[in-house]
Chain A
Amino acid sequence: MHSFKARPRVGTLFFGGAFLLCLLIITGGVRAQSELLNVSYDPTRELYREINAAFMKEWNATGAKPLVGIRQSHGGSGSQARAVIDGLNADVVTLALAGDIDAIAQRTTKVPKGWQTRLPHNSAPYTSTIVFVVRKGNPKAIRDWSDLVKPGVQVITPNPKTSGGARWNYLAAWAYAERAFAGDTNRVRAFMGALLRNVPVLDTGARGATTTFTRRGIGDVFLSWENEGFLALTEYGADKFEIVYPPLSILAEPSVALVDGNVDAKGTRAAAEAYLQFLYTPAGQAIIARHGYRPRAMQHADPKDAAKFPLLALVTIDEAFGGWAKAQTLHFGDGGTFDQLYKPGG
């Protein structure tokens, strides 16, 4: 019994201390001012780390109110958009597709409807495309989209419901099939169904799918962002993987936007606007090219980086699908083509 008496006191002290510590941490986080939050999608971690460092240096040399830091948040593009809608205090969003920023503009007043016209090139300072990453030597001889539906070929792609990159994958395949079957919808659907049946794992995000393909050794071909494909080669070994460019792919335009509602509340508009502008500067474009994204102004890229990007036949979302709003509801909305293809017997 003797120890029983002393115990509550130690417990109270401990929990009191822990409670105070929590309070300190929480309020400490709130107090930090003049800091930007860039809410981005999955594979841009490395890109924005370098962009942030370069921009901070430039901005703090201008004599304007100095920035103490730029925080980044990464995740599936759709869930990041949802976080901003639900109140995540982003100054800028740099997401995988315009559709996700549209969602913010539709559901809140934080981003104006015409956001895409405020910056050059559809508010997308860089583009990318969808490529095939295959195992070294391309043992299954995968050259084109038609090879993906062959029996015994395992295809890795994330879930288009949760991953922006996967939506580009899906649309690229769809665009191929539209052309290959001259718009015969039934055959396009049959093709897409066969493709999805060859997918053994549907990760929720692009980075997860990269890990599944490279680390876990699953799949024969990985439908990937071009930049994520480069990363797979540099991180996991050019001796293990190679990139195959399909004869036709899609022009992916990951868009950026200022979140007006948040920057005005935080007083960070000037810095946030300059941050997005910086992406279009020669310095910004060079960093973009270094990380495997296609800069809008290729002349600013290091020639060594520029050589990485072969010229491709790329369809755009506007010409092939009539824009994101249409593609989103038709293919990825509730009961859209993706859901239909996973119905039994679909």
Chain B
Amino acid sequence: MTLVSRTRNRFRWREPSALPGFGLSFGILITALSLVVLLPLAALVLKAASTGPAEIFALATAPRTLAALRLSFGAALLAALVNVIFGMVIAWVLVRYDFPGRGFIDAAVDLPFALPTAVAGIALAALYAPNGWIGAALAPLGITIGYTPAGVLMALIFIGLPFVVRTVQPVLAEMETELEEAAALLGASRWRTAWAVILPPVLPAALTGFVLAFARGVGEYGSVIFIAGNVPMVSEIAPLLIVIRLEQFDYAGAAVVGVLMLALSFAMILALNILQSVLRRRLGHV
């Protein structure tokens, strides 16, 4: 703030902004973040660290752990991808078209947020089980979804959809239709308009939705457990491994799997965030 302090402390960061109250609000940020996020995470890491490195390595590289992590992360990625595509279409329809019942559908998008995950899981299991409405229809085709890894995917798509719709929707709503009209007047085809004019500003928001849906999907337990089948090496998700460890009173082992998932998630989310900031810079301010 004063010249003196600036010279004394070389590493002092750049003056944040002209807005007053930085000290107070930053203090609140640190306190809240520590209490709510960092403290529990630190406890988790500490607990995991109470096991020896050899044991941690053995657990982390066990085929069963790897299979569960592969399923959890693979299904979450795939589900987020599906959600990005359908979420953008849904957001587009909700923003750009006026039709009877739009308010109702708009509200229905949020239902996966509000529904207790166990209820969602049981409902999905009832639908996709070999004797359920959808499961029975698919059975003659030789497709089974319930109690297979495909069931995990369906559950994750269900719970992740609102994230993409809700992040993309406001961006689409603020976009000026004039841009599209200009593009059309300049002779761009509809596809080109969609591709070159509409998609770029929407993409960063869609990526945010993707990250949120993915992060939620990786840790999802309640809804998946009812439709997954939970067979080790086949349809066992990583959160279930944690629960199983807890059941045998192996808190440290549970923490190790937890930290593994956390590290993987963090790495992927970080990579996606970097990608996103690159996108933002490339495509201008959005």
Number of A-B contacts (CB under 8 A): 70
Given contacts A216-B129, A217-B131, contact A204 B243 (CB under 8 A): yes
Interface string of B69-112 (1 = CB under 8 A from A): 00000000000000000000000000000000000000000000
B247 interfacial contact with A, CB 8 Å: yes
Name the residue of chain A whose CB is nearest to the CB of B63: A344
Residue pair A159, B248 in contact (C-beta under 8 Å) = no
Residue pair B63, A162 in contact (C-beta under 8 Å) = no
A-chain residues with CB within 8 Å of residue B232 when the two chains form the complex: 202, 342
- Give which listed residue, A76, A208, A339, A343, contacts B226 with CB less than 8 A: A208
- Give which listed residue, A204, A215, A218, contacts B126 with CB less than 8 A: A215
Main secondary structure of the interface of A (DSSP, over half): loop
Residue pair A204, B246 in contact (C-beta under 8 Å) = no
The smallest C-beta distance from B161 to any residue of chain A, in angstroms, reads: 24
Name the residue of chain A whose CB is nearest to the CB of B241: A161
- The complex places the Cα of A217 from the Cα of B236 at a distance, in Å, of 21
User: Could you list which residues of chain B lie within 8 angstroms of chain A, going by C-beta atoms?
Assistant: 63-64, 125-126, 129-132, 146-147, 225-226, 229-233, 236, 240, 243-250, 253
- The complex places the Cα of A204 from the Cα of B231 at a distance, in Å, of 11
- Give which listed residue, A199, A216, A217, A334, contacts B231 with CB less than 8 A: A199
Interface string of A214-248 (1 = CB under 8 A from B): 01111000000000000000000000000000000
User: Could you list which residues of chain A lie within 8 angstroms of chain B, going by C-beta atoms?
Assistant: 76, 78-79, 82, 85, 103, 107, 159, 161-162, 199-204, 208, 212, 215-218, 332-334, 339, 342-344
A-B contact pairs, 29 of them (CB 8 A): A76-B247, A78-B247, A79-B246, A79-B247, A82-B249, A161-B247, A162-B243, A162-B244, A162-B247, A200-B147, A201-B230, A201-B231, A202-B231, A208-B226, A212-B147, A215-B129, A216-B125, A216-B129, A216-B131, A217-B131, A218-B129, A218-B130, A218-B146, A334-B245, A334-B248, A334-B253, A339-B64, A342-B232, A343-B63
Residue pair B249, A107 in contact (C-beta under 8 Å) = yes
A-chain residues with CB within 8 Å of residue B244 when the two chains form the complex: 159, 161-162
B-chain residues with CB within 8 Å of residue A208 when the two chains form the complex: 226
